[in-house]
């Protein structure tokens, strides 16, 4: 039997499927992140996502450009 989460009108709406990504940072960096997130009224996760997402999209777009690169039609001299 599988448990199914049902929102019965209470609580906040789902943000969709999530995957945990954890990493360690120097203590001053972690403290700074928590301070900025609190000042902006965000959770640490929400703040980090807002910072990482634009760079990730840029990097993914750059990776996608490699897929469209074609070999130049250069004939080998014989």
- The per-residue pLDDT for range 11-26, each reduced to its tens digit, is 888 888 989 999 999 9
**CA angle 30-27-21, nearest 5°?**
50
Specify the pLDDT at position 67: 59
pLDDT at 36: 98
Every domain of the chain and the residues it spans = 27-65
* 45-64 average pLDDT score: 92
Return the residue matching tokens 């940072």.
Answer: 25
Mean pLDDT, rounded, of the chain: 84
So what's the pLDDT on residue 45?
94
Average pLDDT over residues 56-67: 81
């Amino acid at each position: 039997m599988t448990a199914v989460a049902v929102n019965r009108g209470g609580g906040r709406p789902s943000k969709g499927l999530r995957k945990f990504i954890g990493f360690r940072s120097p203590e001053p960096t972690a403290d700074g992140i928590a301070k900025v997130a609190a000042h902006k009224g965000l959770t640490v996760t929400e703040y980090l996502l807002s910072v990482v997402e634009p760079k990730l999209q840029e990097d993914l777009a750059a990776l996608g450009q490699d897929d469209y690169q074609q070999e130049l039609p250069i004939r080998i001299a014989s």
